[in-house]
Amino acid sequence: MDYLMGVKGPDFVMICSDSAASHSIISIKKDEDKLIPIDSNKLFGVAGEAGDRVNFSEYIIANVKLYALRNNTELSTKAVANFTRGELAKALRKAPYHCHLLLGGYDKSTGPSLYWMDYLGTLTKLNTGGTGYGSMFVLSLFDKLWHPNLTEAEGLDMMKQGIAEVKRRLVTAPSNYIIKIIDANGIRIVKNWDQDV
């Protein structure tokens, strides 16, 4: 089961996902990147049905790109979130996309934002959010640790604690995780976060 967690600070958004791709009891790959960049300062964390994950996120990314080329301007994170939710809602009563998404982005004018979406077309803006069985163990922990002036180091520490908790308590916990951070400089992968876990 996919694990996605996101945390927003005053000047960054950090999103973590597991990197396992499996088919029932078989592990296909352990380095699947489920944190997909939409453009230089937004990314989707996508969890759920494998085909829908890729199909849906690629569809959204192509449309975001088309908008940017047509109008010579990039969409804001809020606009992308609402567009994505709209597509999920449209598809719901025809051929639903079975995926949950976390959208993290940094806009020059409004700063960082984190949005949570599910396959029913729910959209909500959050400070901390996540999907999957793992998130059940971690949401209340994050509620305790989060505060409005979170630093990047504290955010990373929250992620590490969350991952440790999942590994401790979830029977089928994934073994590998990826953490990405978005700030004014764009998107980057947090390397070697697991060296001292």
Residue 72 C-beta: closest distance to other proteins, Å = 8
- Other beta carbons within 10 Å of 187: 21
**Does residue 143 interact with other proteins by CB under 8 A?**
no
The DSSP secondary structure of 150-167, one letter per residue, reads --HHHHHHHHHHHHHHHH
197 makes contact with other proteins (CB under 8 A): no
Q: Does 58 bind other proteins (CB under 8 A)?
A: yes
Q: Is 113:125 a contact under the CB 8 Å cutoff?
A: yes
Asked if 39 is part of the footprint of other proteins (rule: CB under 8 A), the reply reads no
Q: Applying CB under 8 A, which part among 22-30, 57-65, 162-170, 179-187 lies near other proteins?
A: 57-65
**What is the Cα–Cα distance from 31 to 116, expressed in whole angstroms?**
24
Q: Which of 29, 33, 62, 122 binds other proteins (CB under 8 A)?
A: 62
* Residue ranges in contact with other proteins by CB under 8 A: 58-59, 62-63, 65-66, 69-70
